[in-house]
Structure 1
Amino acid sequence: MRQSISYFAFLFSFLLAPLQAQEIHLDSLDNFLEKVRQDFEVVGLSVGIVRNDTVIYAKGFGEREIGKSAAVSKETTFGIGSISKSFTVLTLGMLVEEGKIDWDDRVVDYLPYFELYDPYVSNNMTIRDLLTHRSGLPEVSGGSLWYHSDLDRVELIKGLKYLEPESGFREKPAYQNVMFVVASEIVKEVSGMSWDKFLQTRVLDPLKMDQTTSLAADREANNNLAQPHIWDEDFKKVAIVQEKGDNLAPGGFIYSSAKDMNNYMRLLLNRGVFQNDSLVGENILEEIFKPQFLYQISGKPFGNEFSSYGLGWWVTPHKGHKIIEHSGGIDGMSAQLFMIEDMNLGVVILTNVSKEPASFLIKAKLMEWIMDDPAFDFYQRGLEFRANRFDRLREEAANLKPKPNTRPSLSVQDYAGHYHDRMYGDISINQLQSGELELSFSRTPLFTGKLSHWHYDTFKIDWEDIRVPDGFLTFNFDSEMNITGFSLDQDNLLDVDFDELTILRKN
């Protein structure tokens, strides 16, 4: 009942408010984008804008890789992160239109091996549930399974049964990635082809999205590829090697360009038609863009009490306009896409840096211009946030000190051994010839790091890869001082929460 009332309130606000807006200042946009690039040390970015089924803007700025001369163009490919989810929804919508599936079909009817912690949820979760973040699991559950791991999509899905829920099924939203991987396997099961091939033949090829791919091998073969960038320990931008990401492509690892994404937005805004070719029915898109579950994207002015999640999209009414949007982020990449349905207007913003507010501030400035609303002016706050963040991180690092005059309970070699988490698998601590301890996760080479004593039975982790911030490992004991396992005190990575692991020593 609450959802029905909210939905009608959404429609009421949308229908009665005046439809007024200003034009985008295209003559000022180039200068603004270059200013953002300089102010926030954005290595490269690309922006595309469509209106009334016409491309009105598509440009690149900066470099594909820091310190190199290769320029970003409208054809340069970037990671679009979680905007990938909308492509998975679209492939499912095509099967719904063909009568091969229904949004409210049970997942287990297509994937009998699908299992969650609660048998009731396993047996009753529907395709619609997969796409609306209402499984009851904690935020971004399963990140330790897919992040830089060699697990394939089916192996990833089979590990989900060990994730314990934190709320009731369909009780409240909590953002997920892995459920979109489950959804993609339904496409594979029903269509008889991989999700990647279905996406390519049914979506990307007809839309002439020639620079877009869900496969790492194709991405890396592209000679116009933006490289991801992160901060090093001195807060300087450095390029990194992007992870393969194929196992999470349906939820977060499509790569695309501003030029290609313009075609995608034209399809979505033109009721499923692209260049007179109907790829998906208008009724399917209406369902996709319909509020399914109350889920506030952020505070005002970007979100409000009527903000909801559709199927793979956030939907918000704002002063008579229906805003459809999603952001995306992977290591070293950040993206924003928003569409204003009644204006037939869409914007995509792609950058090859992460942990910077640049893509958000570009979105905010465009919203300020479009809505003629200074409430969207966040630029100065963005600059202050960035400066304060650096100061805070430096202060936190300076204040982080071990307790003095402590020693470990055991000799170093006694901590070495084989450990295990029932969801993830094997994790080892080995003593190297140097005498140091080394932590390594069997399915994730990126999670390898040296251990040095910090205090008591806590060791500091110096991870080998720069994208993983230093963390801490504390050994746990039983009453007879036998090691039972260890716990990780680690800042969350990109959608990875180490608290979901219960790591025990193997006998």
Structure 2
Amino acid sequence: METTTTEIAAAMREQVTAYCENNGVPGYLAGVYRGGEQVVLAHGTANRSTGAAMREDTGFLLGSVTKVLTTTLLLRHVERGLLDLDRPVVSYLPEFELTEPGAAERIRVRNLLNHTNGIDADLLFADGAGRHALRDYTAALGRQCGVLFAPEEYASYSNGGMIVAGRLLEAVTGASYPELLERELYSSVGMADSSTSARQAILRSTAVGHFPAAEGARRTEMFMLPDTWGPAGGTAIGTVADLLAFGRTHLADGISPSGTRVLSAELTALMRQPSYDLGTPNVAPIGLGWLLMPFGSARVLTMSGASPGGVALLAVAPEQDLVFVAYGNDMRAMPLHDELLLWLLTESGVRVTDLVTPSEAGELVRYAGTYRSNQLRVEVRAVDGQLEEQTHYEPFDTEQERIFRGFAGGAVSGPPQRYVPIGRDLFAPAGMPAQAFNGYLRQLLVSYHGFADGRAAYRNAGGRMTRRHYDR
């Protein structure tokens, strides 16, 4: 007998209450659309400093969930003939440059949307606000950032690529990215309670993030990232109901709940078609905008979004006629997102099997070494049949450090972390059960790639590549 919407709401509320109280998460929002019915629930506090309650219509930063909105927005302009996915970005945006000569010229528009561009800018926090913020970010790319690999050689989660996509939209339309987001997407989808800036969000109920503290949680001192990060997930703010409407639009092949055609069925389908597969369990096949995450027999369109002290999730399961949206104003809410999504899929008839199993350790020296990417250094050592990693953030300047510290809650380097082998060139954090990685937390796994000289050339964690650094 199928679970009713009322029963789903009651079961979710029980899970949310127990998890938040046991793990110190101040507030939580969740929403489910399934088979024509919808439910939204709110729990706890939106801001511990004020005591404001989390409400069903409380807004929150979408974080990187914005990337799927940016992709949808760009494809609307492909549909109109203003952009071609297979043309070089520089043919529309001559200002686009990277520090490696000729690298920018090789990047096509589609490489911005499927994370295969290789731009080494994952942590480039260029400051800036207003109409020219994305232009300023693009200029900073040309001064400070090169590439990790050639286009389509690998995939690496690309904030920089998505920000360039936003600037590309500005160049071909003459409108700012926030203007396009409001006019072309919020309005068409029916996202009436969404906004593009803190200046708009202050006029309504909006949650703020929190970080773990001795008293349970402390409020963030940084509400959002600079305007330069808008298209990648710095500034967009929405509600559960609005994100459900966006998810339902993709569920309905591009038609919004109000009946408006937002995107053609062909381009909506293209977003969910695999365009790159790294072939490792910790990185889902990538469509355009979406991560195409397998859960047992189901393929779920997903994107999570971190903001200063918060984390959002959007998941669309077409075969199950299901959309799930969640937000927690503490990063410790991510396992709850996973728990609820796995439960909803199971309730919808999906049989989720273990993604990974323990494995014997091979020769670990082939993974050991120093790996680098934009302002990041990871030291990997072989210790007692395990790998030990330590990550260090190395900012270009005080501006980068200030923004990063605000986003991360103060920390710039993590403690050493041990990893155990669980598959070919694949490692899991020591002490975690295999079942923990069946859901979205599979992104905690670490994989190694490119063994031309017998040692790994790349390390992938959280979908992000770092490249082996060779001392010369």
TM-score, structure 1 as length reference: 0.66
- The answer for the alignment partner of 1:207 in structure 2 is 189
Aligned match of 1:238: 218
Question: In the alignment, which of 298, 302, 310 is matched to residue 325 of structure 1?
Answer: 302
Superposition pairs of residues 245-264 of structure 1, within 5 angstroms: 245-253=226-234, 254-264=236-246
Whether the 8 Å contact between 2:128 and 2:228 is mirrored in structure 1 is no
| Distance in 2 separating the partners of 1:287 and 1:191 | 23
Q: Percent identity?
A: 19
Deviations 1:62-98 (A, max 9, x none): 1111264422122111122111100110111100111
Check whether the contact 2:320–2:348 (CA below 8 A) recurs between aligned residues. no
Aligned to 2:364: none
Q: How does 1:441-452 map to 2 (within 5 A)?
A: 441-442=398-399, 445-446=402-403
Q: Give the Cα separation in 2 of the matches to 1:92 and 1:361.
A: 33
Is 2:204 aligned against 1:223? yes
**The one of 101, 108, 133 aligned to 1:152:** 133
What residue is the counterpart of 1:171 in the other structure? 153
CA contact (8 A) 1:82 1:252 kept: yes
Task: Report the counterpart of residue 365 of structure 1 in structure 2.
Answer: 343
Task: List per-residue Cα deviations over 1:371-425 (Å, max 9, x = no partner).
Answer: 45464799xxxxxxxxxxxxxxxxxxxxxxxxxxxxxxxxxxxxxxxxxx9x95x
**For the structure 1 residues 360 and 146, does the alpha-carbon distance in structure 2 shift closer, same or farther, using more than 3 Å as the test?**
farther
Shift of residue 179, structure 1, vs aligned partner = 1.1
Q: Contact 1:349/1:363 (CA < 8 Å) preserved in 2?
A: no
Q: Distance in 1 between matches of 2:344 and 2:354?
A: 9
Match for residue 411 of structure 2?
Answer: 469
Whether the 8 Å CA contact 2:295–2:352 is kept in 1: the answer is no
Partner of 1:282: 265
Q: Which amino acid aligns with 1:467?
A: G
Contact 1:365–1:376 (CA<8 Å) still a contact in 2? Answer: no
Aligned in 2, Cα 1:367/1:245: closer, same or farther, shift over 3 Å?
A: farther
Distance 1:368 1:51, change over 3 A: closer
- Residue in 1 aligned with 2:123? 143
Structure 1 residue identity aligned to 2:305: G
Query: What secondary structure, in the 3-state scheme, does the structure 1 residue paired with 2:117 have?
Result: coil
Q: Does structure 2 retain, via aligned residues, the 8 Å contact 1:143–1:496?
A: no
- Pairing of 1:176-187 with structure 2 (within 5 A): 176-187=158-169
Matched, 1:294 2:277: yes
**Pair 1:265-2:247 in alignment:** yes
- Tell me if 1:191 matches 2:141: no
Contact 1:134 1:170 survives alignment (8 Å)? yes
Taking structure 1 as reference, are residues 48 and 128 closer, same or farther at Cα in structure 2, changes over 3 Å only? same
Change in Cα spacing, 1:196 to 1:271, as seen in structure 2 (3 Å) is same
Aligned amino acid, residue 293 of structure 1: Y
Query: CA offset at residue 498 of structure 1?
Result: 12
User: Which residue of structure 2 lines up, in the alignment, with residue 29 of structure 1?
Assistant: 12
Distance 1:194 1:28, change over 3 A: same
SS of alignment partner, residue 70 of structure 2: helix
For 1:74, the equivalent position in structure 2 comes to 56
Q: Is the 8 A contact 2:43 2:55 kept in 1?
A: yes
Shift of 1:359: 2.4
Of 335, 339, 350, 2:327 maps to 350
Q: CA offsets per residue over residues 122-148 of structure 1, 9 Å max, x none?
A: 11211100111122345xx24243379
SS of corresponding position for 2:39: strand
Measure, in 1, the Cα distance between the counterparts of 2:146 and 2:407.
Answer: 29
* Superposition pairs of residues 409-488 of structure 1, within 5 angstroms: 427=397, 441-442=398-399, 445-446=402-403, 467-469=409-411
| Unaligned ranges ≥5, structure 2 | 357-393, 415-461
Q: 1:34 to 1:144 in 2, by over 3 A?
A: same
Q: Call closer, same or farther: CA 1:173–1:445 in 2, change over 3 Å.
A: closer
In 2, Cα distance between the equivalents of 1:142 and 1:320? Answer: 32
How far does the alpha carbon of each residue in 1:253-289 deviate from its partner, in whole angstroms, 9 at most, with x for none? 2211111111111111111112222121111101111
* Unmatched tracts of structure 1, length 5 or more: 1-19, 379-420, 428-440, 448-462, 473-493, 501-507
Instruction: Report the counterpart of residue 110 of structure 1 in structure 2.
Output: 92
Once the two structures are superposed, the pairs formed by residues 48-87 of structure 1 within 5 Å of their partners are 48-52=31-35, 54-66=36-48, 68-87=50-69
What root-mean-square deviation, in Å, do the aligned CA atoms of Structure 1 and Structure 2 show? 3.5
Q: Is the 8 A contact 2:296 2:351 kept in 1?
A: no
> Does the 8 A contact of 2:126 with 2:400 survive in 1?
no
Task: Give the Cα separation in 2 of the matches to 1:374 and 1:311.
Answer: 25
Provide the residue aligned with 1:481 in structure 2.
none
What TM-score do you get using the length of structure 2 for normalisation?
0.71
Alpha-carbon distance in 2 for matches of 1:363, 1:235: 29
Structure 1 residues 21 and 295: alpha-carbon distance in aligned structure 2, compared to 1, 3 A threshold: farther
- 1:350-382 CA-to-partner distances (Å, cap 9, x unmatched) read 11111443323332333333345464799xxxx
Equivalent-residue separation in structure 2 for 1:255 and 1:95 (angstroms): 23
